[in-house]
Structure formats: structure tokens, C-alpha cells
């Protein structure tokens, strides 16, 4: 096995393990911390796939912004203790069975899938230069539209979390 | 796969499937709305990994632009979704999805 294979399997193991810990840890703050570990493992996968720009954006946006937002909300809602008292005893059993059935179905369907061989062998697709050229030529309109989306999200978030809505 | 000896695209399909199913398990299992939200983020990221893997496989950078837009939309979604969660917590006093059953038939 080459060094990239070792890194791939290590990062995959780390992502899956901490993903399971997100689901099964009792404390919501620990769930956030395990999710950050998962995001760093996914950023390692992006580096392995030579998508350097996406790896940097992923760490900045997810681990830097989104998870801090989650931590703030958990702090504001005072959920840093485990509080799920009325959990049905069969609920865990049933949902594990359902998720396992979904996993088996997807793997069984995708196991025999054949992917077409790569046609072009362009190597520097993940660099900022290449992505910036594509973003500002082919995808210029969606790029500008996403700024309107951000404006709408910002206005919506401020409006929703205002304490009293005076008319 | 470019720059990756010994790893096929099927390995990435398997990894992405497992991560997606963990996210789905969390959505079904947990009652806390914040944890459910985090599991939705996990499912989004599983799809992103697959998009980047296929972008590397075919040598096409358009999939990476798609991942970029998915991240932008996810950031906006988290901002609005957490604001809605805070609003629900103020009105109902809880973020437990078992209690929030007013729309249940």
C-alpha cells in the first residue's frame, strides 16, 4: 500500500468514527466538537483529491463559521447538558435498522456500478486560478445571485431573532 | 484517479454512502432539533465529497464550483435555520421535536 492509501483509509476511518460520535454522544457540545473533527477529515480528503481551494474554503466556512454559530446557539439555548428524557426504548433499535437498510440498499445498488474512464487528464483543476476562471466566466450569474441569497438570509435571520416585532 | 494510486472512485462512493447514512441515522434517531440540523450538514458534506471525487476522476472543475455554491447555500441555510430554532425555543420553551407536534395530524 502506498502512503496515499494509508492517508485515505485513516481519514475515512476518522470521518466515519467521529460522524457516529456526533449521532451517539449525549452532550450537544460534544456533538459539535466531533462534527468539527469530521469536517477536518473531509478537508483532508479534499486535499488528497487535489482540491486545495475547496479544502481551505471548507475549513473557513464550516469549522470556522458554521460550527461557531452552532456553539453559540447551544450556549444561548442552554443545552450543554443531556436532555432527552422521553425517548422511546424501541426508537433507537428502529432507527438503526432503518439506517442500516438504507445503507445496504445504497451499497448493493452502487456495488456493481461501473464508472466511465476519465477522458481528459487535466491536472490543475483544484487551484484558485482555474476555479476563479470558471467561476467568473461560466458561473457568473449564479455567483451574483448567491449574493442576493446571502442578503435575504441576513435580513431573515435578523428579523427572526428580533425580540419583539413592532409593527 | 489523478495523483491517487490504488484508490478507485468506488472507495469514495462507499465512503460517501456511509457518511450519508450516518447523517440519516442521526435525523431519525435524535430528538434535539440542533443535533438533527448538524446531521443534515453531515449529509450535505457526504454529497460534497462525492462531487469532488468525481471532479478529480473526470478532470472537470465545474463540479468543484458546484461544491462551492453548495457551501454558500449551506451557510445561508444555517443562519436562517438557527434563527428559526431560537424563535421556536422562545415560543415553545424547548427544541425537542417530540414536543413540537402542533402540525401533526
B96 forms bridges with which residues in the sheet?
Answer: B32
**Residues A134-153: tens digit of each pLDDT:** 899 999 999 999 999 999 99
Q: Mean pLDDT across the stretch A123-138?
A: 86
CA dihedral B90, B84, B24, B31 (to 10 degrees): 10
The whole-number pLDDT of residue B71 equals 93
Chain B hits for A160, Cβ within 8 Å:
80, 83-84, 86-87
Contacts of A135 (CB under 8 A, 6+ apart): A143, B65, B68
| Rounded Cα gap, residues B35 and B12, in angstroms | 25
Q: Does the beta carbon of A13 lie under 8 angstroms from any beta carbon of chain B?
A: no
Q: Is the pLDDT of residue A81 over 70?
A: no
Which of A19, A53, A122 is facing B22, going by the closest CB pair? A19
Q: Is the pLDDT of residue A85 over 60?
A: no
Q: Mean pLDDT across the stretch A122-141?
A: 86
Q: Is the pLDDT of residue B2 over 70?
A: no
Asked if A7 and B10 count as a contact pair (C-beta separation under 8 A), the reply is: no
**Residues B16-52: tens digit of each pLDDT:** 999 999 999 999 988 888 999 999 999 999 999 999 9
Q: Is the pLDDT of residue A111 over 60?
A: yes
Q: Mean pLDDT across the stretch B71-91?
A: 90
> What are A47's three cell numbers?
486535499
Q: Is the pLDDT of residue A17 over 80?
A: yes
B32 forms bridges with which residues in the sheet?
Answer: B96
The whole-number pLDDT of residue A144 equals 94
| Rounded Cα gap, residues B51 and B44, in angstroms | 11
| Rounded Cα gap, residues B91 and A77, in angstroms | 12
> Distance, in angstroms, between A135 CA and closest chain B CA?
7
Mean pLDDT is lowest, of A99-103, B43-47, B96-100, for B96-100
Mean pLDDT is lowest, of A90-94, A103-107, B47-51, B100-104, for B100-104
**What integer best gives the mean pLDDT of chain A?**
86
Q: Is the pLDDT of residue A104 over 80?
A: yes
| Rounded Cα gap, residues A78 and A118, in angstroms | 51
Q: Is the pLDDT of residue A167 over 60?
A: no
Write down the residue that cell numbers 446557539 correspond to.
Answer: A73
> Distance, in angstroms, between A142 CA and closest chain B CA?
8
CA distances to A39, B39, B40, B77 from B44, rounded to whole Å, are: 11, 9, 6, 12
The whole-number pLDDT of residue B102 equals 78
CA distances to A149, A159, B85 from A42, rounded to whole Å, are: 26, 33, 27
Asked if A17 and A40 count as a contact pair (C-beta separation under 8 A), the reply is: no
| Rounded Cα gap, residues A24 and A31, in angstroms | 8
> Distance, in angstroms, between A167 CA and closest chain B CA?
18
Look up the ipTM and state it.
0.90
CA distances to A137, B42, B49 from B70, rounded to whole Å, are: 18, 13, 12
Which of A5, A42, A154 is facing B6, going by the closest CB pair? A5
In chain B, residues 53-72 whose CB comes closer than 8 Å to chain A? 53, 55-62, 64-65, 67-69, 71-72
Q: Mean pLDDT across the stretch A35-62?
A: 93
| Rounded Cα gap, residues A100 and A70, in angstroms | 28
The whole-number pLDDT of residue B26 equals 93
> What are A69's three cell numbers?
454559530
The whole-number pLDDT of residue A98 equals 93
Write down the residue that cell numbers 432507527 correspond to.
Answer: A95
Q: Is the pLDDT of residue A86 over 80?
A: no
Amino acid at each position: 500500500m502506498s502512503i496515499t492509501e494509508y492517508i485515505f483509509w485513516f481519514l475515512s476511518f476518522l470521518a466515519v468514527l467521529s460522524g457516529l460520535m456526533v449521532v451517539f454522544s449525549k452532550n450537544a457540545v460534544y456533538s459539535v466538537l466531533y462534527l468539527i473533527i469530521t469536517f477536518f477529515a473531509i478537508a483532508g480528503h479534499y486535499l488528497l483529491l487535489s482540491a486545495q481551494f475547496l479544502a481551505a474554503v471548507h475549513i473557513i466556512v464550516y469549522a470556522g463559521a458554521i460550527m461557531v454559530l452552532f456553539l453559540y446557539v447551544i450556549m444561548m439555548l442552554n443545552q450543554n447538558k443531556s436532555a432527552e428524557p422521553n425517548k422511546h426504548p424501541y426508537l433507537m433499535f428502529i432507527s438503526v435498522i432503518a439506517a442500516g437498510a438504507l445503507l445496504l440498499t445504497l451499497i448493493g445498488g452502487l456495488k456493481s456500478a461501473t464508472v466511465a474512464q476519465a477522458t481528459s487528464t487535466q491536472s490543475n483543476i483544484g487551484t484558485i486560478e482555474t476555479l476563479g476562471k470558471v467561476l467568473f466566466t461560466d458561473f457568473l450569474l449564479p455567483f451574483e445571485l448567491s449574493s442576493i441569497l446571502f442578503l435575504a438570509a441576513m435580513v431573515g435571520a435578523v428579523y427572526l431573532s428580533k425580540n419583539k416585532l413592532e409593527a | 484517479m489523478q495523483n491517487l494510486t490504488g484508490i478507485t472512485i468506488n472507495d469514495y462512493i462507499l465512503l460517501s454512502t456511509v457518511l450519508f447514512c450516518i447523517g440519516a441515522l442521526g435525523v431519525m434517531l435524535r430528538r434535539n432539533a440542533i443535533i438533527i440540523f448538524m446531521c443534515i450538514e453531515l449529509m450535505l458534506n457526504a454529497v460534497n465529497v462525492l462531487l469532488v471525487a468525481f471532479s478529480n476522476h473526470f478532470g472537470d472543475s465545474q463540479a468543484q464550483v458546484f461544491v462551492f455554491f453548495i457551501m454558500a447555500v449551506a451557510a445561508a441555510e444555517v443562519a436562517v435555520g438557527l434563527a428559526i430554532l431560537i424563535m421556536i425555543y422562545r415560543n415553545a420553551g424547548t427544541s425537542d421535536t417530540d414536543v413540537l407536534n402542533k402540525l401533526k395530524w
